[in-house]
Amino acid sequence: MNKRPPLTILLLSHWKFLVICALISLLAGFGITKAIPKEYLSYAEVYANVSNSIDDAVNKPEFGYEIHADRLIQLFESQDIKDSVIQQFSLYNYYDLDTSDLDQKYKIYNKLSEDLTFTRNPKMAIIVSAQTRDPELSADIVNYVIELVDRVQQRILKLNTQKAVAFYAKEHGHQKNTVDSLMNKIYDIQVDTTLEDPLISSRRIRLMNTIKDPENPLRNQLEYLSLMPITLEDEKTINNYVFELEQLKIVRTKLTNAQNQLKAPMASINIISRAKPIHESQYPSMITNLLLSLSLGVILAILIIIGKAKFQEIKRIRD
């Protein structure tokens, strides 16, 4: 009984068949690659801001950290942004979707999520990428999304600042009413010289900063009262006034800062590079497809050769 030849010898004896299969596979891979619609990738690189203040962006420029990048990506991936992109570039027509389909929203969101991506690299930069059948369209989508998110982010910041101004204005009014009420009570304090007051010296020390404060409308009255015997109730009123006056200053500072921030322009997204049309297709890859088809063709040819040899061996054994 003849032994089956080694695999190497077996393959070499069928080298013509292997070459033919390899050529056919390459031709098939070339034809399939040419038949598949080409897709072109375009991308841009942006950074989030640590501060939304334009002064900080100019005087203390600093790119955002992981948390800032992730927040910006959430805005990029929001439904409003997707809807605007779909409408701006007529993507229902591009994806050839039926607008009467009940699942059309779900389908177009899925397709857009595949073609428009936002990733954070190790340097905390956000890479905005779009891949479509038109290199100009890919670049236009990326640049449009960046400009749109920048406008939306500034609108959100403005709205939040307006809310802060309204909140602090209300707080300021409430705090001012409290201070004014205490002021009226202090004006009404009557000094009783018959009272023995051992707390005059400690009260004066405690009120010195308030007395020296030029913004305090009661500094003369308080200085006078700090040297006079007064009741414990009046002492409590003065202490409350000093405390509430400080709270009024804090609220006024917050209100002023919010008002100034509302007037000032907001910092924009840091754009490192804008998207440009790249006319070399990203998909399908000719080299990748040729290598894949060649590998599959050769493997299939080897399996056919081995299978044929095995079949012949079994036939010889039966004979």
The encoded tokens of residue 58 equal: 């100019």
Does residue 288 have a pLDDT over 60? Answer: yes
Q: Which residue has the higher pLDDT, 207 or 149?
A: 149
Confidence of residue 209 (pLDDT cuts 50, 70, 90): low
Is there a domain that residue 129 lies in?
no
Q: Distance between terminal CA atoms of the chain?
A: 11
CA distances from 90 to 12, 66, 107, 278, 279 (A): 57, 34, 15, 21, 22
- For position 78, what pLDDT does the model report? 92
E strands of the chain, at which residues? 40-47, 116-120, 126-132, 270-273
Does residue 167 have a pLDDT over 90? Answer: yes
User: Residue 244 sits in which domain range?
Assistant: 162-263
The encoded tokens of residue 4 equal: 């089956």
Cα–Cα distance measured from residue 35 to residue 32, given in angstroms and rounded to the nearest whole number? 5
- Phi (first) and psi of residue 230, to 5 degrees: -135, 165
Is there a domain that residue 278 lies in?
no
Instruction: For residues 281-291, give the mean pLDDT.
Output: 74
Cα–Cα distance measured from residue 304 to residue 289, given in angstroms and rounded to the nearest whole number? 22
Give, as one character, the DSSP assignment of residue 38.
P
- For position 61, what pLDDT does the model report? 56
Does residue 66 have a pLDDT over 90? Answer: no
Place of tokens 């919010």: 258
Instruction: For residues 199-227, give the mean pLDDT.
Output: 57
Cα–Cα distance measured from residue 132 to residue 116, given in angstroms and rounded to the nearest whole number? 9
Q: Are 282 and 40 in contact (CB under 8 A)?
A: yes
209 shares its domain with 291: no
Confidence of residue 132 (pLDDT cuts 50, 70, 90): very high
Does residue 1 have a pLDDT over 50? Answer: no
Q: Are 89 and 137 in contact (CB under 8 A)?
A: yes
Confidence of residue 116 (pLDDT cuts 50, 70, 90): very high
- Phi (first) and psi of residue 5, to 5 degrees: -65, 155
Average pLDDT, rounded, for the chain: 81
- For position 205, what pLDDT does the model report? 42
- On the question of a cis peptide bond just before residue 37, with omega within 30 degrees of 0, the verdict is no
Which of the given ranges, 83-87, 199-203, 208-212, 261-265, has the highest pLDDT on average?
A: 83-87
Largest CA distance in the chain: 138
The encoded tokens of residue 226 equal: 């700090």
251 shares its domain with 313: no
171 shares its domain with 256: yes
Is there a domain that residue 69 lies in?
no
Does residue 235 have a pLDDT over 60? Answer: yes
Q: Are 274 and 42 in contact (CB under 8 A)?
A: no
Instruction: For residues 100-128, give the mean pLDDT.
Output: 88
* Helices and strands, number each (H, E), in the chain: 12, 4
Confidence of residue 199 (pLDDT cuts 50, 70, 90): low
Cα–Cα distance measured from residue 93 to residue 98, given in angstroms and rounded to the nearest whole number? 8
Give, as one character, the DSSP assignment of residue 37.
P
183 shares its domain with 259: yes
From the number of C-beta atoms within 10 Å of its C-beta (0-12, 13-18, 19+), residue 272 rates as middle
Is there a domain that residue 211 lies in?
yes
The residue among 263, 292, 309 that closes a domain is 263
What is the arrangement of strands in the sheet containing 40-47, beginning at the earlier edge strand?
116-120, 126-132, 40-47, 270-273
Confidence of residue 53 (pLDDT cuts 50, 70, 90): low
Cα–Cα distance measured from residue 130 to residue 115, given in angstroms and rounded to the nearest whole number? 5
Cα–Cα distance measured from residue 95 to residue 141, given in angstroms and rounded to the nearest whole number? 15
> Which region among 46-50, 227-231, 305-309 has the lowest average model confidence (pLDDT)?
227-231
The percentage of the chain sitting over the pLDDT mark of 90, rounded to a whole number, equals 31
Confidence of residue 201 (pLDDT cuts 50, 70, 90): very low
Q: Which residue has the higher pLDDT, 285 or 308?
A: 308
- For position 206, what pLDDT does the model report? 54
229 shares its domain with 301: no
- For position 115, what pLDDT does the model report? 93
Confidence of residue 305 (pLDDT cuts 50, 70, 90): confident
Is there a domain that residue 271 lies in?
no
Instruction: For residues 230-238, give the mean pLDDT.
Output: 74
- For position 44, what pLDDT does the model report? 95
Is there a domain that residue 184 lies in?
yes
Does residue 216 have a pLDDT over 70? Answer: no
Give the CA-trace dihedral at 276, 278, 282, 288, to 10 degrees: -140
Cα–Cα distance measured from residue 254 to residue 216, given in angstroms and rounded to the nearest whole number? 19
Confidence of residue 172 (pLDDT cuts 50, 70, 90): very high
Total domains in the chain come to 2
pTM: 0.66
Is there a domain that residue 236 lies in?
yes
Give the CA-trace dihedral at 8, 13, 18, 20, to 10 degrees: 170
Q: Which residue has the higher pLDDT, 225 or 48?
A: 48
Is there a domain that residue 209 lies in?
yes
